[in-house]
Amino acid sequence: MRFLDEYRDPAAVGRLITAIRAAVTRPWVLMEVCGGQTHSIVRHGIDELLPPEVTLVHGPGCPVCVTPLELIDRAVAVASRPDVIFCSFGDMLRVPGSGRDLFAVKAAGGDVRVVYSPLDCLRLAEQNPGKTVVFFAVGFETTAPANAMAVKQAKQRGLTNFAVLVSHVLVPPAMEAILSSAANRVQGFLAAGHVCTVMGTAEYGPLAERFRVPIVVTGFEPVDLLEGVLQCVEMLEAGRSGVENAYRRAVQAVGNPHARTVVEDVFEVTDRKWRGIGTIPRSGLRLRAEYAAFDAETRFAVAGLAAEESTLCLSGLVLQGLKKPHECPAFGRECTPQTPLGATMVSSEGACAAYYHYGRRKGVAG
C-alpha cells in the first residue's frame, strides 16, 4: 500500500536501528508523547529492536487515558437521558466512570452511538429533531478542528438540538508539567506528529530552550518513529537542545492555519483537569461564550458532578513517565483489562493495557 509500506520497510528499519546503535554511547530516556505512537511501538514491536541504552517511556497523549473521571460520569449522566442521542469515538465507550461505562448505559436503554466524525452528528441531529444529539468532544489538538467545525456548522445551520461535551486537552502544557516535576526523568521528547500537523512547531521552541531538552517532531509508522529516535539520540549525544522535525512529510512549522483558525474561533484556552495528573493551568479548550448554547454541561446541568479516583491506581505516575505499568501494585491483580481501575488499562493506546498483554508473556503479570 503506497504511503504506508515504505514506512514499514524492514530494510529501512534495519538501517535506522544500526544508525541508532552506532549513535548511542550511554543510557537515555525518551518520551513518546502521543498514545498513537505508543500503540504503534507496541504493535510493531519497535521497542524490542532498540539498543538497551534507549528507554522509551509512554507519555500522556492518550485522550482516553487523561479524560478525567468526572467527565466520564457527566457523559454517563447525559447519555442516560431518554431525550439524548449520545455520540462518541469508539474507545471512550469502555472507559469506566465511578459507577458504569457508556456501554452499560447503552445496555440499559440509552441511545449511545459510535461515530467516526463529529460532522456525522449534525446529520443525526437533523434526522432526529425530537432529540438532542450530544457529541463527546475529547482529544488533543488533533481532533479539535473537526469538533470545532461541527459546532461552527451547527450554528450556521441553526441546529438547536446539537451539543458537545468538551474535554479537549493540549500537549505543550502537559510536557511543561512533566519537565517541571522534581521527579522527571525524561531527557528528550518525540513530539506528537499529528498534533504538530495542526498546530505547527512554534510552541515547542520555548519549552526546549527553558528546559534544555531536544524535542523531535515524530510520526507514527516504524520508520517515522525510528527517525525520531535517531534524531533525538543524536541531539542528546551532541548535547544539543531545540526543536527538530523528523516528520516533514506531514508537518510544516506553521501547522495548518485554516484548522487553527477554526479551533480559535470556537474554543478558548482554559485550565483542565487531567486524569491521574491533576489540574494543569491553561492545558485545555472550552467553548467560547458565543457558542455557549452548544455546551452540554450547562444544557444538562451536569457540570457539578465530581468523582473520586481509585486510591490503588498509579496511572498518573505512569502517564508522567515516572513509573512503568508493572511497578504499580494493582497491576495484573486488582487491575486488568477486564477490571480496569484506571484508563491506562482500558484504551488500546494505554500503557498499562499494552504492558499487561506484553508483560504476561514475560511472567510479570499475575
- Binding residues for another protein, rule: CB under 8 A, are 1, 4, 8-10, 13-14, 35-36, 39, 42-49, 63-64, 89-94, 103, 114, 116, 138-140, 142-143, 194, 222, 337-338, 347-349, 357-358, 360-361
| Rounded Cα gap, residues 302 and 245, in angstroms | 42
Residue type, 230: L
- Per the CB < 8 A criterion, the answer to whether 251 and 259 are in contact is no
Contacts of 14 (CB under 8 A, 6+ apart): none
Shortest Cβ 172–another protein spacing (Å):
17
Shortest Cβ 145–another protein spacing (Å):
12
Shortest Cβ 344–another protein spacing (Å):
15
Please name the residue ranges forming H helices in the chain: 10-23, 35-44, 46-49, 63-66, 69-79, 102-107, 119-127, 144-157, 171-180, 193-199, 204-211, 222-237, 257-266, 296-299, 315-319, 351-361
Shortest Cβ 222–another protein spacing (Å):
5
> 69 vs 92, which CB is nearer to another protein?
92
- Per the CB < 8 A criterion, the answer to whether 295 and 255 are in contact is no
> 242 vs 337, which CB is nearer to another protein?
337
**Run of H or E including 271:** strand 267-274
> 36 vs 110, which CB is nearer to another protein?
36
**Residue matched to cell numbers 491506581:** 313
Shortest Cβ 212–another protein spacing (Å):
30
DSSP string computed for 284-321: EEEE-GGGGGGBHHHHTT-TT------SS--HHHHHTT
> 35 vs 188, which CB is nearer to another protein?
35
Report which of 222, 223, 215 is spatially closest to residue 41, judged by C-alpha positions. Answer: 222
> 47 vs 203, which CB is nearer to another protein?
47
**Residue matched to cell numbers 512533566:** 178
- For CA atoms 30, 31, 34, 40, the dihedral sign is positive
Q: How many other C-beta atoms are found inside a 10 Å radius of the C-beta of residue 129? A: 10
Shortest Cβ 293–another protein spacing (Å):
25
In three-state secondary structure terms, 161 is coil
Residues facing residue 109 across a β-bridge: none
- Per the CB < 8 A criterion, the answer to whether 162 and 131 are in contact is no
> 35 vs 110, which CB is nearer to another protein?
35
Shortest Cβ 301–another protein spacing (Å):
27
> 311 vs 338, which CB is nearer to another protein?
338
> 40 vs 80, which CB is nearer to another protein?
40
Shortest Cβ 89–another protein spacing (Å):
4
> 239 vs 363, which CB is nearer to another protein?
363
Shortest Cβ 106–another protein spacing (Å):
12
> 69 vs 169, which CB is nearer to another protein?
169
Rg (CA), the chain: 21
Shortest Cβ 273–another protein spacing (Å):
18
